[in-house]
Amino acid sequence: MAAVGRTRVGKYELGRTLGEGTFAKVKFAKNLETGENVAIKIFDKDKILRHKMVGQIKREISTMKLVRHPNVVRMYEVMASKTKIYMVLEFITGGELFDRIARNGKLKEDEARKYFQQLIDAVDYCHSRGVFHRDLKPENLLLDSNGVLKISDFGLSALPQQVREDGLLYTTCGTPNYVAPEVVKDKGYDGARADIWSCGYLPFEDSNLMSLYKKIFKADFSCPSWFSTSVKKLIKRILDPKPQTRITIPEIIENEWFKKGYQPPHFETAEVNLDDVDAIFSESGDATNLVVERRDEKPVPMNAFDLISTSQGLNLGTLFEKQMGLVKRETRFTSKLPANEILSKIEEAAKPLGFEARKQNYKLKLQGEKSGRKGHLAIASEVFEVAPSLHVVELRKSKGDTLEFHKFYKSLSTSLKDIMWKSQEESSGSVKS
């Protein structure tokens, strides 16, 4: 039986929101038949249709079905209701490679080599299936509890049918700092060679987009002094602005630096049928796996599985502790006040900071009135019940700049110190930014 205030989708019980974007949100969930923890990416059908995103979502689902590799986030199944689409994904607990790099400043060479080997293996496999990721970057590289790298977010991926007769792709996409020069030029590009560029290290930084592109076109970069000569040579071959002479994956695998300690992965490939992808968007009224909607009468209880999902791996010590020097995209504090009172206090404190609030059940959406570095800052806040007189309050950046979110939270927490029982900031002292 589902817990009070929970939503159940088929055999899955939905928990807390792990992240959200313009067209989808990702929720922690539990398979009630097996007890396995999963992540479910939820798309709103109406929003997808309105923004003409059907093709892109079909591509993402098709890609996830095609790609079965130990270094790629696994998709278990896709479900649809009349209003939503649900992608059931492997739940990864180790966080982003981006956060690991930011936390440590740099990786040891052997550790970096291990991740690079896993990345190249996964990219090579994707290309063998006719799939080009087109948005490879540290934020899309996750680590599981054993430190194994997993590629995620195939939302911008390209499939074989998008390749034109000349064998090239023509859609400009990706994150500017990591995108290959031929993609920016918009004259057609080889998806495989463009992905190889993005496997390199990020030397291209500039607040001015045109200046950034000039650096990319010239491959104007220098490696840090601690890089070994072998690494520098390999990076130079990867970040070759001419795709025709850029190193290929078979050449990378034969590279002496790459081969040290290299063990190719062993896994089974299965035949995949994509005929059912169109059925997900079917308007027929016999859709299976309908959501059992249930209006929350009190905050969603946060059980042990949810507590683990808020932390990296099983280390609950990080629940309310902030790693020094790392600006996170979400933060939490606990409070002994009633849930409604907590949300009202957050709403009151956010108004003078220039934020409009929209409350629904035990969730609060805060929207910044002024546009920042990456558009308007938007924050989702939710209250979870841990015990009858104890709540966990989560504030999560849903849009905008992470540093601006951090500054907002510092200002907000000053106003909320009377209602906080224990905050992340109090656990770890001041945070460098």
Same domain? For 251 and 377 the reply is no
User: Greater confidence, 332 or 149?
Assistant: 149
**Binding residue positions for ATP:** 41
Largest CA distance in the chain: 65
Cβ pair 289, 279 in contact under 8 A = no
Cβ pair 14, 374 in contact under 8 A = no
Rg (CA), the chain: 23
Same domain? For 70 and 116 the reply is no
Question: Can you give the pTM of this predicted structure?
Answer: 0.63
**Which domain range does residue 223 map to?**
97-259
Confidence of residue 399 (pLDDT cuts 50, 70, 90): confident
Same domain? For 86 and 145 the reply is no
Task: Give the whole-angstrom CA distance, residue 280 versus residue 274.
Answer: 11
Same domain? For 138 and 217 the reply is yes
For residue 350, being part of any structural domain is answered with yes
Same domain? For 166 and 235 the reply is yes
- For 393, the enclosing helix (H) or strand (E) is strand 390-399
Pairing state between β 300-301 and 375-387: parallel
* Three-state SS at 224: coil
Terminal C-alpha separation, the chain: 45
The pLDDT tens digits for 294-309 are 544 556 666 554 555 5
For residue 325, being part of any structural domain is answered with yes
pLDDT value at residue 38: 94
Task: Give the whole-angstrom CA distance, residue 275 versus residue 226.
Answer: 51
The DSSP secondary-structure symbol of 129 reads T
Using the 3D structure, point to which of 231, 259, 287 is the last residue of a domain.
Answer: 259
Stretch 245-250: mean pLDDT: 92
Confidence of residue 98 (pLDDT cuts 50, 70, 90): confident
Q: Distances in Å between the alpha carbon of 112 and those of 133, 232, 292?
A: 21, 13, 45
Same domain? For 385 and 244 the reply is no
User: Greater confidence, 97 or 143?
Assistant: 143
Same domain? For 115 and 230 the reply is yes
Same domain? For 52 and 126 the reply is no
Using the 3D structure, point to which of 259, 280, 302 is the last residue of a domain.
Answer: 259
Q: Quote the number of domains for the chain.
A: 3
pLDDT value at residue 170: 46
Stretch 26-51: mean pLDDT: 89
Instruction: Express as a percent the part of the chain with pLDDT over 90.
Output: 16
pLDDT value at residue 157: 52
For residue 277, being part of any structural domain is answered with no
Cβ pair 84, 303 in contact under 8 A = no
pLDDT value at residue 320: 41
Same domain? For 74 and 121 the reply is no
Whole-number average pLDDT of the chain:
75
Residue with tokens 């982003």: 96
Q: Which of 199-203, 288-292, 380-384 has the highest mean pLDDT?
A: 380-384
Stretch 66-76: mean pLDDT: 88
Using CB atoms within 10 Å of the CB of residue 225, give its burial: 0 to 12 exposed, 13 to 18 middle, 19+ buried: exposed
Cβ pair 343, 362 in contact under 8 A = yes
Domain containing 370 — which CATH number?
3.30.310.80
Amino acid of residue 288: T
* Three-state SS at 12: strand
Instruction: Express as a percent the part of the chain with pLDDT over 70.
Output: 68
Asked if residue 20 has pLDDT above 60, the reply is yes
Using the 3D structure, point to which of 63, 92, 121 is the last residue of a domain.
Answer: 92
Cβ pair 60, 131 in contact under 8 A = no
Rounded to 5, what percent of the chain is helix, strand, coil?
A: 35, 25, 40
pLDDT value at residue 289: 45
pLDDT value at residue 418: 86
Q: Residue 380 CB: number of other CB atoms within 10 A?
A: 19
Q: Distances in Å between the alpha carbon of 333 and those of 325, 391, 424, 430?
A: 19, 9, 6, 15
Q: Which residues contact 323 (CB under 8 A, 6 or more apart)?
A: 103, 428
Judged by average pLDDT, the poorest of 93-102, 161-170, 264-273 is 161-170
Catalytic residue numbers, as ranges: 135
Same domain? For 35 and 166 the reply is no
Same domain? For 153 and 82 the reply is no
Judged by average pLDDT, the poorest of 49-63, 97-111, 321-335 is 321-335
Confidence of residue 189 (pLDDT cuts 50, 70, 90): low
Give the residue from 398, 395, 390, 387 showing the smallest Cα distance to 421. 390
Task: Give the whole-angstrom CA distance, residue 243 versus residue 184.
Answer: 13
For residue 311, being part of any structural domain is answered with no
Task: Give the whole-angstrom CA distance, residue 383 versus residue 333.
Answer: 10
Give the residue from 305, 249, 280 showing the smallest Cα distance to 29. 305
pLDDT value at residue 62: 81
pLDDT value at residue 353: 92
Same domain? For 241 and 324 the reply is no
For residue 104, being part of any structural domain is answered with yes
Cβ pair 183, 194 in contact under 8 A = yes
